[in-house]
Amino acid sequence: MLWALYQVLLAIGFVALAPGHLVRMIRRGGWRVGFGERFARYDPNVQRELTASPGRVWMHAVSVGEMHVVLNVMAEWRRREPERRFVISTTTPTGRAVGTRRMAEGDSIVYSPLDFPLVIRHAMDTARPSALVLCESELWPNWIRAVSWAGRPVVVINGRLSDRSFPRYRRWARPMTRQVLPMLRLVCAQSEEDRRRFVELGMPPDRVQVVGSAKYDAAPPEFAAAEAIRRDLAAAGFPGDAVWLVGGSTWPGEETALVRTYLACRTREPRLRLALVPRHAERGTALAAQIGRMGVRLYRRSTAAGGGNDPHVALFDTTGELSAVYGLADIVFVGKSLTARGGQNPIEPALWGRPILCGPHMENFRAVVQDFRERDAIRVVADAAELTRAVDEWLADSSAREAAGWRALQVTREKAGAIRRTVDALQRIVAEPRAIVSEAPASPT
């Protein structure tokens, strides 16, 4: 009865939400590429790739952040087992773009199948993976049930249950999680709190292992890419000795707050310039108009428009340049934390040794922010006014901001190792003859 109810609710939710998702896909562009893969309908070339090498491990990463984790796990696993091959799935075009750039020869990348039984069955029958690895909190009941019923292990890596999602699971979905979670062979959790939450929702305690956040094992900074951006900005008219305030993965409202902070602080530091990297590049046109109305001169990266006469703000409405832009920074603000909830990844600027500011809403990186706060390696601001005060203070004291950046870098070095521990577990589990599943899972229909 519970599984039948889930299928009904899934269908209703799909019908209700599909139009909005389709509109967003169209706005972001490139939505036709691989669209059928979401229904496990593959073009002939992809079909041949998937069927030619059965037994590959299927790795799922919902978007860009999770994709970096998955790719790093794959790289470490392949370093140990050079013959190991993978199928990668993702939900977003940006995740697919990152995966396509970094995946190795012999791997395949597709959009993840929708969690309908027939779609899942066709995708799994086509690829016949030896295991399914889900990143963070991607708990799709039909997908997990189908793979576990086939006797293949399902593992969650970098597992977390956010402050927002956990109460919802506990209140509305615990009967389902108590059936689904025992089908997992292992959860590699980010923190003890995440471990406790998975167990409370029904995961057997002996199958949850705390390995830390895999995001601490991010790829090293791309110094050449940052230097190339610096040259481009110099050619666009920015001063070579600019002091850069960088807003990374910003959301609506945060760009306005950062421009106002820039305008307020440039009297103290005339060399101050602002670089904005919005989370969604398709907002570029609207942002450029909005920023222009605030009376600042703008350079727009996607079109190379503006610049010339001492521009003030560089708008990076592009994909895949965030890490390199952090390399420019003297001060970093991490977005989706001031006017939106959830937060973005503070580890990326920390790898550059940059001083980091964020708003109060970093729920998706709760454990990471706690690590940073314990070492005084991040500064959390309550609102836009406090953001301006913090930037002004760091501009007045370069030694203080450099020390904060150094502490942030040290945290990343001390906390690294989750990728190694994760691959240790994956190798052991995939080598087992059969997955451990719940005693009597219902057969997929």
pLDDT in tens, 252-289: 999 999 999 999 999 999 999 999 999 999 899 999 99
pLDDT confidence of residue 306: 80
pLDDT confidence of residue 1: 84
User: What CATH number has the domain spanning 223-415?
Assistant: 3.40.50.2000
Q: Cβ distance 247 to 277 under 8 Å?
A: yes
Tell me how many degrees the CA angle 204-207-211 measures, rounded to the nearest 5. 135
Candidate CATH numbers 3.40.50.11720, 3.20.19.10, 3.40.50.300, 3.90.1150.10; the one for domain 10-212+418-431: 3.40.50.11720
Q: Cβ distance 148 to 435 under 8 Å?
A: yes
Asked if residue 178 has pLDDT above 70, the reply is yes
Asked if residue 438 has pLDDT above 60, the reply is no
pLDDT confidence of residue 184: 98
Structure tokens at 36: 């059928």
pLDDT band at 49 (very low <50, low <70, confident <90, very high): very high
Asked if residue 186 has pLDDT above 80, the reply is yes
pLDDT confidence of residue 151: 94
Asked if residue 436 has pLDDT above 70, the reply is no
pLDDT confidence of residue 437: 39
Residues pairing with 132 in the sheet: 58, 154
Q: Cβ distance 191 to 160 under 8 Å?
A: yes
pLDDT confidence of residue 93: 86
Q: Residues 134-152: what's their mean pLDDT? A: 96
Q: Residues 377-385: what's their mean pLDDT? A: 98
The boundaries of every CATH 3.40.50.2000 domain in the chain are 223-415
pLDDT confidence of residue 440: 36
Q: Please give the share of the chain, as a percent, with pLDDT higher than 70.
A: 96
Asked if residue 433 has pLDDT above 80, the reply is no
The boundaries of every CATH 3.40.50.11720 domain in the chain are 10-212+418-431
Q: Cβ distance 166 to 196 under 8 Å?
A: no
Asked if residue 23 has pLDDT above 90, the reply is no
Q: Residues 371-381: what's their mean pLDDT? A: 97
Asked if residue 24 has pLDDT above 80, the reply is no
pTM for the whole structure: 0.82
Summarize pLDDT for 95-108 with one digit per residue, the tens. Answer: 998 999 999 999 99
pLDDT confidence of residue 434: 59
Q: Nearest-CA neighbor of 427 among 149, 186, 87, 217?
A: 186
pLDDT confidence of residue 275: 98
**pLDDT averaged over the chain?**
93
pLDDT confidence of residue 443: 39
Asked if residue 439 has pLDDT above 50, the reply is no
Say which residue the tokens 């020869």 belong to: 105
